[in-house]
Each structure stands twice: as C-alpha cells, then as structure tokens.
Amino acid sequence: MAAEFTEKIVEVGGQKVHMLTGGSGDPLVLFHGAGGNTGWLRYVQALADHYTVYVPSHPGYHQSERPEWLETIADMASFYTWFLEEQGLEGARAIGFSMGGWIASEVAATCRHAFSKLMLVGAVGIKPEQGEIADIFIISPAQVNDLIFHDPKQAPEYDQIYGQPPTPEQAEIAEGNREMAVRLCWKPYMYDPRLPGLLGRVNIPARVVWGREDRLVPLECGELYQQALPQSDLVVIDECGHSPQVEKPDEFVRIALEFLA
C-alpha cells in the first residue's frame, strides 16, 4: 500500500511544531531520535495500517521552533505534556526511539496519564554500569551512520535514507538537528541520573526493544530500563543494530503490533 500521510504545522505554547500524521484508529505517537525525523518510512506506514500515527519533529528539529526556555530533556518532556494536551493525545500509545525513548520515558514518569502503553527502542537516558553509550558528537555523521546498523544490506530502505548525498537544505537541517542534540544531551552525556528512580512510578504496560548488536547504546541499557519499569518486558532482536525499525522492519512491526494491541 502506498504511504498516505499529511504534513502540517501545529502550534503549542506559541511555538510551531512540524508533524506528520496518517492512518486510522487509536492514536500512536512516535518520538524520533537525536538524528531527527526520518519521515514516513515503511515501518511507520505499517503501523498506520492499524493506528492513527503522529510523528512530530521535536522543538529545535527540522521546521519545529524551539522556545527559549527549552534546554534539556526534562524541558522537552514538559513541552510534550503540553503538546499531548493541546493535540488531544493524552492517553495515546507511544513509541520512543533512542533519544526519543528518553523523552517519552521522562514524559511517562512526569505525567501518569500521558500514555496508555509505552514502547522504548534502543533508548538512551539511563547510564550503563559496565559499557558505555557511544559518543556521537566526537565522530562524523557518516561514522555515526556506520555504527547504527549491524548489516546495512538487510535494511530495505538503507539506500533511500543514506544512499544519496544530502541536498544543501538537508545538510542545513541535519546540522541544526545535531546542534539541538548537543544542547539536549551533552552534560551529562545521554542520561538523567534521576530517571531509573522515577521510572518506578510508571504504572502502564511497557515494552523495551533492542538490537542485540547495538553498537551505539549497549543492550545493558535495555536491561536497566526493563528492571526500572515495573510492568515491562524486554524483547531482543538478533543480528540487528541500533535501529530495528529500519534494519528489520517486518520483525519490528510484528513485535510492536503484538504489544500495542
């Protein structure tokens, strides 16, 4: 089925937020990672066959404006509780990818009625005890892309996303996204020391999904999330890196739909 979605700008607290939406059924909000909104990919459309999917670009990303007060992931979580309220999306299902998983976790810990179910995919936000989260700010974007996948050849949309040199406009957006990621995640790097304790408050069903060969965020972080979230399970995808939704979209969608139902 061809992808069918609309692109719009909504306003929250006087700030413009860029958002993609499509599908039908109960609402499902997707929170993108530090690299930015990758658009309406195959896995998004597969989810939109079952739910009305909302994919906002975080404040400071893409065409979304950043309020001057928004400097941290905790600020981002405060903004998103406002966004959910304004858009009539409180109680929606949610999936957070990487940094977006951190944001969604902070939202769920702060606001008990924000989501009805929460799925985290390769989420940062908790400091590993043995390994470490790769420092994406000291290597080039090309090196980051290399670390994302276990085997790019098994990602059906790899060439579509990464195969062409970026246009000047895309390069400018990517640079702005990177600056915003640095602002949000630099110190402490990619975690909130409060988060494991706060997650004990999250009383909704949660699923933690990880690629076993994730070279950006170690599987240990997934285990720590699963321990911190009272009603959660951990699903590990073999021979898969940091973005199972792109590298193994069919398996990812099956795991997601089983949980979200």
Q: Please list the residues that pair with 207 across neighbouring strands.
A: 119, 233
Residue 35 — pLDDT band, cuts 50, 70, 90?
A: very high
Q: Please list the residues that pair with 245 across neighbouring strands.
A: none
Look at residue 2 in the predicted model and tell me its pLDDT. 58
Q: Work out the average pLDDT over 170-175.
A: 92
Whole-angstrom distance, CA of residue 72 vs CA of residue 221: 20
For the stretch 10-23, pLDDT in tens is 999 999 999 999 99
**HSE (CB half, 13 Å, CA atoms) of 174?**
15
- Angle between helix axes 168-185 and 73-86 (nearest 10 degrees) is 110
Residue 142's φ and ψ, nearest 5 degrees, are: -65, -40
Q: Rounded to whole angstroms, what are the CA distances from 67 to 14, 75, 160, 208, 252? A: 9, 10, 32, 31, 34
Whole-angstrom distance, CA of residue 252 vs CA of residue 259: 11
Instruction: Say if CB 83 and CB 109 are below 8 A apart.
Output: no
Look at residue 142 in the predicted model and tell me its pLDDT. 85
Q: Please list the residues that pair with 39 across neighbouring strands.
A: none
Residue 1 — pLDDT band, cuts 50, 70, 90?
A: low
Instruction: List, in order of start, the domains of the chain with CATH numbers.
Output: 6-260 (3.40.50.1820)
Percent of the chain past pLDDT 90, that is, above it, reads 94
